[in-house]
Structure formats: C-alpha cells, structure tokens
C-alpha cells in the first residue's frame, strides 16, 4: 500500500507520551501503530510536546500540540487536592479531567474544523481520554461534515466489589458511588449518537453503552505490548515455583492478600516471591514478614524501570495479581508476552484477558476467599512446572498474535474501513 492509498486520519490523543506510563503510553503506542498503516496527524496536549520532539516527530507535520494549560493547570491542581493523597481518589481526578477536556477539543475544532470539512481527513479518531465519562464536543460537527468520528477504546469505572468497601475508602474513592451520574449529562448521548464507531475496552464499559448505539460498538481491550520492549522469553528453569507480583503497593492491588496466601509455601521452601513496585503499603508488607522465615525466597524490589521489570519477570514461572479493581491489566499481557502465565482474580480487565488455557483465575470473593483461592492455586502449581511452561508458551503465542500494538492497529483499521463503507461485514475484534 502506497502512502497515497492509505487512509488519512486525524488522531486526537490528549494524553500521549512515550516517556510516561498508563494512559499516556497507551495513547502514544496506539497512535504510532496506526501511523504505520495510515497517514495520521496527532493532536495532543502541550505537556507532551517535548517528548514527541525527542521521539523524532516534527511539530506541524506529524503532530500539533494544543496549549490549554490556562484551564487545565488550575483544574489539575484542584484534582490533586480532591484526591487526598498521591495515587488516590482516581474518580475525583477523572471528574476534574472531564471538566477541563471540552476546552481542549474546542481548540481542536478551531484549528482543524475547516480542514475536516474540506475533506482533508477520511477519519477523526479520539483515542484518549479513555474514560467513557468524557463526551466529545466535536463528534456532531464531524458527522455534519460527513467524516466518521471514532471514539475509544473507552474503559473505566469498574464497580468496587461489595466485599472491598474498606479498600475503596482507603483509596479515597468517595465519589465512586456517584460515578454513574455521568450517564445523565446532556452531551453524552449526543456524542454517542454522532459517533460512527465506539471501541469498548472492557465488557463493563460495553454494557454501559445505551442499547440504541450497540450496533456501532466494538469490543477491543485497550492494552497491548511492544515486542521490542518485551523481547525476552521466560526460562522456566527455577528450582521451585517462582512467583512475581508487579504493581503499586496499594489496597486494591492485593499485595497483602498474595503475601498471606504465599507465606506458608515460602517458609516451606516450595516457592519464591518477587514483589516489584512501590507504594504506601510497602513498609507494612515488610513488617508482616518480620519474625517469619521466608529467607531470601522473598524479595521486595521496590520501583523498577521497565527494562528491569522485564529482567525479573522473565525469571518467574508465574505472575500473581490478586487485584480486585483493574480496568485494563496491562501487566498481565506483559507477563504473557514473556511466556509467564498469570494467576488473577476473575474480575474486570485481568479476568477478560486470561482465557482458558492462557492462565489461571480465582473467583471474585471476599478477602478470605481470595486468599484461600490463591493459596490453593499456588500449592497446586508448585507441583506442576511442566503445565506452567506449556501455558506460558500458549499465552506468549496468543499475545504476539493478537495483542501487539500493530495487531490492534490492524483491527482498528478494519473498523475504519467498515465505517467508511469499504467493507460490508462488521468486523469482529478480539
């Protein structure tokens, strides 16, 4: 396909940054993958400009940076106060972001509206924000111009399990029970009605899309992996079960539940545990094992850079993630890409990614039930190294086939072609 044959796409990625993690890295990675199969121009926020330039992109040619800091900065500062602690109060932060975002998109239309109406772009695709609570003021304008508007992948707002309300309070998620109010905002239905395709990053998000718009809905988990960043292969040569936990040390991630489930096996010398990540619970976790005898089989690594995480994870035979509220679960795909099978709670993102034959799941329950479930699984798997090796191989093949950024971009390209009427059959995405 020549450059002239490629679709012309205006990519809106307010959060996109190759040097950050989470949503900004998703925005960057997906935009770059789309750029390998389509002619794209990225519109992003000014805070990402320098990182784009360092990555080799040319401002005005490859991307446009929009400066709405006069509005975004004070609202962001307000969000930090409302969060009541670093890394907490995610719902409060999203509410503030929703208030700041419309000004950004209105600037997009002022800069690109005439070019969109003039037929310079075949598609307008808003990748980020990922939150389904944030409407798009320009969706209807694109529709009026006859240019398909694509929204997503959208994900977020997975309900807190009833058994973990105490953890919800510890995370300062006091606004979480009110989140559903966004469905009544006047701009939401208008945005969805004007959107040609909606990419839902989770089954929960898909279920929140009104029935009238289900015909334009596509299920596509938002996470993927970069094979260049996750290029090792797990050796599975450890003398015993070697488990890794990767994530922030916060209540909903469940590092304390994993440690409780693993302690007897650690003391018996039947497994090793690498705990990677930092956070407010780290000191408490260390105190939990004070006076116990896990020996050197338990290692707290603290925060590690991505390449260091891969080094530790590739030596593991199992990833254990007892998180009870994970929207996406990118670390699950990262482990699978290395050939390390995951053990997760069967809820939200990880529960959707870990299918039969690709890993192991424990039913969502209360704290005692999850601890018992993880303990039973760890005890069983400690005696089945060959099974872990085979499941790891299957997971690695699955991820490298369906969950690279390039594979995801190809699936989205199929959606583009469908919305433009170039294909008659609605594509089914993985």
Domain that holds residue 71: 3-224+404-419
| Chain-centre distance for alpha carbon 313 | 19
Q: Is the dihedral of CA 41, 42, 46, 49 positive or negative?
A: negative
Helix (H, G, I), strand (E, B) or coil at 342: strand
Residue 425 counted as domain residue: no
What is the distance of C-alpha 343 from the center of its chain? 18
Separation between Cα atoms, residue 416 and residue 183, nearest integer Å: 26
Which residues sit opposite 45 in a β-bridge?
66
Claim to verify: residue 116 and residue 208 sit in the same structural domain: yes
Specify the 3-state DSSP secondary structure of 192.
Answer: helix
Give the span between the Cα atoms of 318 and 23, in whole angstroms.
26
Q: How far apart are CA 9 and CA 35, in angstroms?
A: 9
Question: What is the count of structural domains for the chain?
Answer: 2
The answer on 381 and 408 residing in a single domain is no
What's the CA angle centered on 396, arms 429 and 259, to 5 degrees? 105
Check whether residue 183 and residue 255 sit in a common domain.
Answer: no
Instruction: Give the pLDDT confidence score for residue 101 in this predicted structure.
Output: 87
- In DSSP terms, 200 is beta-bridged to 154, 219
Give exposure, 11-27, as e/b (b: 16+ Cβ within 10 Å): bbbbbbbbeeeebbbbb
Q: Are residues 214 and 257 in the same domain?
A: no
Q: Quick one: DSSP state of residue 314?
A: T
273 and 192 co-located in one domain: no
Return all residues near 202 (Cβ < 8 A) that are at least 6 apart.
155, 158, 221, 327, 328, 348, 349, 352
Q: Flag whether 234 is in a domain.
A: no
- Both tokens assigned to 190: 């208008």
Per-residue model confidence (pLDDT) at position 411: 97
Which H or E run includes 361? strand 360-363
Dmax (CA) of the chain: 71
**150 and 176, same structural domain?**
yes
Mean pLDDT by 10 residues, the chain (430 residues): 80 96 94 98 97 98 92 61 53 62 93 98 97 92 98 90 84 63 72 96 94 96 93 93 96 95 94 95 91 81 92 97 92 97 97 96 97 98 97 97 97 97 89
Are 253 and 288 in the same domain? Answer: yes
Angle, alpha carbons 347-263-307 (nearest 5°): 65
98 belongs to a structural domain: yes
């Amino acid at each position: 396909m020549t450059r002239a044959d490629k679709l012309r796409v205006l990519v809106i990625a307010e959060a996109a940054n190759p040097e950050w993690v989470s949503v900004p890295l998703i925005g960057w990675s997906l935009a770059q993958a789309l750029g390998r199969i389509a002619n794209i121009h990225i519109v992003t926020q000014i805070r990402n400009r320098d990182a784009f330039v360092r990555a080799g992109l040319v401002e005005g040619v490859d991307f446009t940076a929009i400066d709405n800091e006069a509005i975004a900065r004070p609202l962001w500062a307000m969000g930090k106060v409302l969060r009541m602690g670093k890394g907490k109060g995610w719902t409060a932060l999203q509410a503030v972001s929703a208030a700041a975002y419309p000004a950004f998109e209105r600037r997009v239309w002022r800069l690109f509206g005439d070019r969109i109406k003039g037929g310079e772009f075949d598609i307008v695709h808003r990748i980020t924000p990922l939150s389904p609570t944030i409407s798009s003021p320009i969706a209807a304008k694109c529709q009026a111009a006859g240019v398909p508007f694509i929204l997503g992948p959208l994900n977020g707002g997975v309900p807190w399990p009833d058994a973990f309300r105490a953890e919800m309070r510890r995370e300062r998620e006091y606004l979480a029970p009110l989140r559903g109010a966004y469905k009544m905002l006047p701009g939401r239905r208008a945005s969805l009605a004007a959107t040609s395709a909606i990419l839902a990053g989770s089954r929960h998000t898909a279920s929140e899309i009104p029935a009238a718009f289900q015909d334009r809905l596509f299920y596509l988990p938002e996470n993927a992996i970069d094979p260049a960043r996750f290029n090792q292969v797990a050796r599975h040569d450890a003398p015993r079960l070697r488990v890794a936990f990767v994530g922030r040390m916060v209540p909903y991630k469940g590092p304390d539940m994993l440690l409780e489930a693993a302690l007897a096996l650690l003391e018996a010398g039947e497994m090793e545990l690498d705990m990677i990540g930092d956070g407010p619970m780290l000191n408490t976790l260390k105190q939990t094992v004070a006076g116990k005898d896990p020996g050197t089989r338990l290692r707290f690594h603290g925060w590690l850079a991505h390449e260091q995480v891969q080094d530790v994870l590739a030596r593991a035979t199992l990833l254990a993630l007892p998180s009870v509220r994970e929207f996406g679960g990118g670390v699950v795909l990262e482990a699978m890409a290395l050939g390390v099978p995951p053990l997760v709670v069967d809820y939200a993102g990880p529960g959707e990614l870990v299918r039969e034959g690709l890993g192991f799941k424990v039913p969502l329950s209360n704290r005692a039930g999850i601890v018992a479930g993880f303990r039973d699984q760890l005890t069983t798997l400690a005696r089945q190294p060959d099974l872990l090796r085979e499941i790891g191989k299957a997971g690695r093949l699955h991820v490298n086939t369906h969950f690279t950024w390039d594979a995801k971009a190809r699936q989205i390209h199929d959606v583009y072609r469908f919305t433009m009427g170039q294909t008659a059959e609605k594509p089914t995405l993985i």
